[in-house]
């Protein structure tokens, strides 16, 4: 059975989807990678989709999900990417690992679309550094 890695954020519209796309690309088919939110926004932010497309990762088919969708699943690792999700995170059946790596929420960026994209790119790249290192460790284990 493939281990499931669940990435949690509050809204499940930006950071968790950036992390899901990046981690899915960095890992291989031995892992299931998913994301959810404690208070899902109901959509994936269009600028998150655009930022990921710039690095060749398509998250346009992702959907915003509530973490309750995973409560009956065997989740091996939970990774929270915002403080609110870290505090609201329940225990999942089979959960062995839990990590918290907080990142700024690019959904709060203001200004022109290009100014907002600068924030989305910065957060995407910060998430990439952390999650690529994590993936390398998992693949080496």
Q: Do residues 72 and 85 make contact, with C-beta atoms less than 8 angstroms apart?
A: no
Burial of 132 (0-12, 13-18, 19+ CB in 10 A): middle
The answer to whether residue 82 is catalytic is: yes
pLDDT the model gives residue 93: 72
Active-site pick, 47, 82, 117, 119: 82
Catalytic residue at 9?
A: yes
Please tell me which residue in 36, 89, 123, 127 is annotated as part of the active site: 89
The domain defined by 4-134 folds into: Rossmann fold (3.40.50)
Establish whether 14 is a catalytic residue. Answer: no
Domain ranges of the chain: 4-134
Report pTM.
Answer: 0.93
Q: Please count the residues of the chain.
A: 141
What percentage of the chain exceeds 70 in pLDDT?
A: 96
Q: How confident is the model at residue 85 (pLDDT cuts 50, 70, 90)?
A: low
Name the packing angle between helices 15-26 and 46-53 (round to 10°): 30
Share the mean pLDDT of the chain: 93
């Amino acid at each position: 059975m493939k281990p499931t890695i669940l990435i949690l954020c509050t809204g499940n519209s930006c950071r968790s989807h950036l992390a899901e796309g990046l981690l899915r690309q960095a890992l291989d088919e031995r892992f299931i990678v998913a994301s959810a939110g404690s208070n899902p926004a109901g959509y994936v932010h269009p600028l998150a989709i655009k930022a990921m497309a710039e690095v060749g990762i398509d998250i346009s088919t992702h959907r915003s999900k509530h973490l309750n969708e995973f409560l009956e699943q065997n989740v091996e690792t939970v990774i929270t990417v915002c403080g609110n999700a870290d505090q609201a995170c329940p225990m999942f059946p089979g959960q062995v690992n839990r990590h918290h790596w907080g990142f700024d929420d690019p959904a709060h960026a203001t200004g022109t679309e290009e100014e907002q994209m600068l924030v989305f790119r910065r957060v995407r790249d910060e998430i990439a550094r952390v999650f690529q290192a994590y993936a390398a460790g998992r693949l080496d284990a």
